[in-house]
Structure 1
Amino acid sequence: MESLPVACQALMSSLLGLMPSLHQQESLQALFGLFLAPIGSPLPQHCQLKSAGALSRFLNHYGWPTRQVIRSVRQWVLEQLLGWAPQGRRPHLQLIVDLTTLEKTGKFQQLPGLVRWYNRKRGLHLVVLYLVVGRWRLPWGFRIYRGKGSATPVQLALRLLSTLPLCLRQRYEGMVLADAGFGSREFLQGVRQLGFHALVSVSSSRCLADGRPLQQLHRAGQQIQLRGLSMSLTWGYYYFKGEDGRYRKRHLLCTRRLKASTLRWWGRRRWAIEGFFKVAKHRFGLHRFGQSSPVGVYRWLVLVLIAFVLALCGLLMQQAAEEVDWAVAAQTVVRLLIPHIIIYSLLKELEPWRKEALALGIELPKTQ
């Protein structure tokens, strides 16, 4: 398997090769430089290489192949995951699905059906599939929930799971993790039909086949049967510390027979996707889209997630790092893949000192 820096360079080269023109290649590099900037505020007007109008045209109007970009990145992700070969037993692949809202205010008349109210939040609602194996933590895909009359979040999650290739299922032992919003009969049956096992959080008021609620159970690890569901499930629980510091009991159901301690271990793993949402929004600007068309919004989301994957590679390159620093990881990737952006930024900072530099016999290159 090739080294990670070489693999990252190959990925960037393949993405640039999909752009129809040099101008669009430069726009793509400028956007990645924007998303990976250390300040963590990726607004188009902050870009130093391209104007906000040029980036808007690149996202909303230019005809570059978005789906081929996604396929190229997914193929690269597969190569990295299949090339990771730990010793010992067959490794587990955590398939975490969740719904997050990219909250928005104001009018979005050019995005009909996308920005809407759901669960008392207004914005763009995404169902995301997140893969975790070893040190790899990667977004695999997303679907946009369009409200009543369209595919439900459960159906969107099942569609995302169905996109996982057979080679990945054979290489790893997959476990689907989800919260109570995906604890329905349709989701559990759909996951089993796809060949996966699932562990979901559920409400304490869910009833057993005999009519008792889950909150009346006490022995974790026992086999139960829910009302309206023919398959047997394993019940367990764990205590989760909320933002107010209080511990709350979370009920768990798993389609696989597991010990109580194993159920608790898996149940806590689901929260890994919350950390991803926080980083993707506040470090890489997943929620900062302001595009004038649905395709522009879609491309913004895709490129932000690719930037996250690149930054993760920068994080993995820092083997000795004790703390996770996404700003340092992002700059590691920028220096490796698009170093001219750093040089250009330095020259822009030195521009006001051009006369002083000339007085010292130093001629600065022009940045325009």
Structure 2
Amino acid sequence: MSHTYTLSQSNPWNNRFDEWKLPLYFSKPALHHIKHFVDGMLSTGFTGTLTDIHRESLQERDRRTLSHFLTHGNWDTSYLKRIVQRVAFQQIKACAQRDHSPIFVILDDTVCEKTKPSSQAMHTIQGASFQHSHLKGRHVYGHAVVQTLLRSGEQVFPFATERYDPQGKSKIDLACDLIQAVPMSACRTYVLMDSWYPSASVLQTSAERGFHVISGLKTNRIFYPQGIRQSLKSFASYISKTDTDLVTIGFSDYRVYRYEGKLNVVENTALLLCWKDGEGFDPKQMKAFLSTDVSLSNEEILSYYSKRWAIETYFRTAKIRLAMDRYQVRSTQAIDRYLTLLLFAALCCSYGSHGSLIDGLHRYQIQKKHDMIEYIYNQTQGGATLDQIKTQLKVA
């Protein structure tokens, strides 16, 4: 019996890959593997194993070909990264121009935690080390990944990801590289980051690209009000309610003290010292923020900074739904390729849902169920037996 009907889930990927010119950079076998990785990663119940990808994408070849593709396959991840960056920027730039809104480059890192191997282990995972976890507030064993997203309005697209190598570039250097990768445009562009990243080199790199920076600041950061050297925390002890303005962000009210002056390589920057309204002015409860765009109001600075939260939800979704931290490959090349394929899968998902990863995942998984039901129906109408359908779907 010939199978007249095939599962239609591969057709959207073929069309998308042609649209993004992937056949110019990858061979047919490589495209075949990329398609299966994307489909498997976006499937319901994906746990990060190659077995899941082999099963969920209905890969016809042996499962070991997927491992070989990651570890020894002849393909270049830099091409796939460039495609992600080009497509993401095109989408965000179009949104910014249409809505007359800024472009936000959101930068942060996360830890893909792994079990520390026994000293007797012969084949340990490569490139892992102890990294500080912001979520757990302590050092954990694993790989640190530095990531950038692009955002305009409510659209958010993954842009770039780099694994931090303790023997290679620092996280600050990786951050500078990721900022430099963002194309310049006529749109106002802001780099958003937490208090770990606003170093002199990051501020200078952003300025050279024509980007402003809005970031958190550590309260022990040194500045020079009236030429006097002191920390933000020390300065905050002299602030009273009459020195502050009331700012409402969302459903919360804050008391904000604003200072403008020189900081590092920036000649004039705005520093905001903030407390929740009604909770006093204890320096230990203060949150500090920086904006290199002094034309923004206090409310605009805090409102723009709040958009950084998109990368926190992205990491959570990527770890829970895309198994970002549950890969089971050992070599650094395989790990880097896995992370690049995951980045590409996230782009495909976001692209199909106007910049929403979680919505795109839901829509794709629902559509895949519909395709499966339609396939089974068409096969039965064509005379296929139950055993033949089970074999075709690899559940026999």
TM-score interval for Structure 1 and Structure 2 normalised by the shorter chain: 0.7 to 0.9
Asked if residue 224 in structure 1 is aligned to residue 261 in structure 2, the reply is yes
Q: CA deviation at 1:37?
A: 0.6
Q: Distance in 2 between matches of 1:12 and 1:333?
A: 19
Unaligned runs of at least 5 residues, structure 2: 1-10, 133-138, 245-256, 277-283
Please give the residue correspondences for 1:41-120 in structure 2 after superposition, counting only pairs within 5 Å. 41-46=47-52, 47-48=54-55, 49-50=58-59, 51-84=62-95, 87=98, 90-107=100-117, 109=123, 112=126, 114-119=127-132, 120=139
Q: Percent identity?
A: 20
Q: Does the 8 A contact of 1:38 with 1:328 survive in 2?
A: no
Asked if residue 123 in structure 1 is aligned to residue 142 in structure 2, the reply is yes
Q: Distance in 2 between matches of 1:87 and 1:344?
A: 38
Q: Distance in 2 between matches of 1:313 and 1:94?
A: 17
1:225–1:345 Cα change, 3 Å: farther
Q: Distance in 2 between matches of 1:20 and 1:116?
A: 35
Unaligned runs of at least 5 residues, structure 1: 1-5, 241-246
1:334–1:137 Cα change, 3 Å: farther
* More divergent stretch after superposition (152-161 vs 103-112): 103-112
Q: CA deviation at 1:150?
A: 3.2
Q: Distance in 2 between matches of 1:273 and 1:31?
A: 23
Of 16, 22, 36, 1:15 maps to 22
Superposed CA deviations along residues 277-325 of structure 1, whole A, max 9, x for unmatched, are 111111111112222322211111011111111222333399xxxx954
Asked if residue 33 in structure 1 is aligned to residue 71 in structure 2, the reply is no
Superposed CA deviations along residues 325-357 of structure 1, whole A, max 9, x for unmatched, are 454233267589xx5xx479969xx9xxx97x5
Q: Distance in 1 between matches of 2:348 and 2:361?
A: 12
Q: Distance in 1 between matches of 2:369 and 2:45?
A: 16
1:8–1:175 Cα change, 3 Å: farther
Superposed CA deviations along residues 100-132 of structure 1, whole A, max 9, x for unmatched, are 1111114495654x2111221211111111111
Q: CA deviation at 1:267?
A: 2.3
Q: Does the 8 A contact of 1:311 with 1:333 survive in 2?
A: no
Q: Does the 8 A contact of 1:238 with 1:264 survive in 2?
A: no
Aligned to 1:155: 173
- Which secondary structure does the structure 2 equivalent of 1:221 belong to? strand
Aligned to 1:233: 269
1:208–1:131 Cα change, 3 Å: same
Q: Does the 8 A contact of 2:96 with 2:152 survive in 1?
A: no
Q: CA deviation at 1:20?
A: 2.2
Aligned to 2:197: 182
Q: Distance in 2 between matches of 1:335 and 1:157?
A: 40
Q: Does the 8 A contact of 1:66 with 1:299 survive in 2?
A: yes
TM-score, normalised with respect to structure 2: 0.73
- Which secondary structure does the structure 2 equivalent of 1:38 belong to? coil
Superposed CA deviations along residues 179-233 of structure 1, whole A, max 9, x for unmatched, are 111122232233222321101111112222212322334443331334x556222
Q: Does the 8 A contact of 2:206 with 2:213 survive in 1?
A: yes
- Which secondary structure does the structure 2 equivalent of 1:286 belong to? coil
Q: CA deviation at 1:76?
A: 2.7
Q: Does the 8 A contact of 1:40 with 1:283 survive in 2?
A: yes
Q: Distance in 2 between matches of 1:365 and 1:283?
A: 27
Q: Distance in 1 between matches of 2:298 and 2:64?
A: 56
TM-score, normalised with respect to structure 1: 0.78
1:293–1:11 Cα change, 3 Å: same
Aligned to 1:198: 213
Q: Does the 8 A contact of 1:96 with 1:178 survive in 2?
A: yes
Aligned to 2:222: 207
1:295–1:252 Cα change, 3 Å: same
- The one-letter code matched in structure 1 to 2:113 is E
Q: CA deviation at 1:87?
A: 4.6
Please say which structure displays the higher CA radius of gyration: 2
Of 352, 361, 366, 1:314 maps to 352
- Which secondary structure does the structure 2 equivalent of 1:316 belong to? coil
Q: CA deviation at 1:52?
A: 3.5
Q: Distance in 2 between matches of 1:190 and 1:81?
A: 21
Aligned to 2:136: none
Report how many residues are paired.
331
- Which secondary structure does the structure 2 equivalent of 1:181 belong to? coil
Q: Does the 8 A contact of 2:93 with 2:103 survive in 1?
A: no
- The one-letter code matched in structure 1 to 2:317 is V
